[in-house]
Structure 1
């Protein structure tokens, strides 16, 4: 029996509708009217991860947050020790580990200058291979700055230079290293339009009034060094916060030493 064309067309249309519905419900799983869901990307902590033999970590959008949290755990003047890892069969061994540490040091800028970062290398066996997922290939540890009561110190940050003072001192000319540092800084900016803000700070030993004066004496002593090395006085602003803005506890010698400081901010 020969089927009429209209019936063949109707059967074909019905089959087409069935195929579309089958795909929609069983393949797309959209029978409830909801759009197909995509798997959410895996959440990361931001910690740098390295592939086998790679000297640079895998890009991670959460790294800035991880970095901020890491740097917040370090104290004023502390040194960050970055230990790069290498495995026994990775190419270049210890040199690869140091290269990884160097890349991570650069990623800590500008908040952490090179002068406050130390690089080390370590052999580990943790399962990283050519076919495995990326893994952590460095550790990060802080070395606390320890100073004797009579010592001065230079601390560089991304924006400022911090000079620590011995107890009850308004002068820093007892430390040739500090003099040399300030001279070099002046040479760098002598022909620029940079201005300098010099602010003195103290511990809480003594009265607030006396500490404001002591902080100002320290700031003026540093400003004089800048002027003696070619920086015009109109480019320098001095101030004192006395004991009002401590960065450490005043309950111990180390904390008080951290608070006896002058901060030099260079505004370009």
Structure 2
């Protein structure tokens, strides 16, 4: 698991699209089938777009949903009518790639990634695609991404969703931290229900609740860093209960020595 977010060249792995590192020079000069510029939500299309679109749509079946994740950098302007640049990129890309898919067959997500040198002057890929089974559309209690794990919470609660997989993961994480001596960063988040200040407090409590579980399992206080983001970094729209549940979370990052 990486310590920081990455953004660069997209590589296809089955139905899932993931990000791999690219040099600043490549990021500035290269063009991609679907790419973006700094603080611009609408995608550009270039050579290879038709094949890229066909490849994405080929994954559709009778019982799956297209999940589109828009990536964005801290410092990019938030477009009007969207909660962040990532959600805007996901929405505009959906209109471009899958305009005929009904809304209940599409799940729009966003993810904040760390800025790399030169990205403000160049073009970059900033969407990921994944076909997921309909029964999996509801957010998993523990979600695993390349650079982080996510644990979700019920509404207005500092108690994690009850799921044996959460306890199993935290057991494994604690054992790993004790063996490796690595640090872990716990970042709390909320939906947009409630005031800004109260949501910061709530997100702080969520991060510290996971911290306390790890400490009770023998992890040193010095190995745990907590942060509170309140409602400022949603990964889904807050206009549905499903989206709000996605946003009530603690993100877990390992910091390698």
TM-score, length-normalised on structure 2? 0.49
Higher relative contact order (CA 8 A, sep 6+): 2
From the CA coordinates, give the structure whose radius of gyration is larger. Answer: 1
Greater strand content? 2
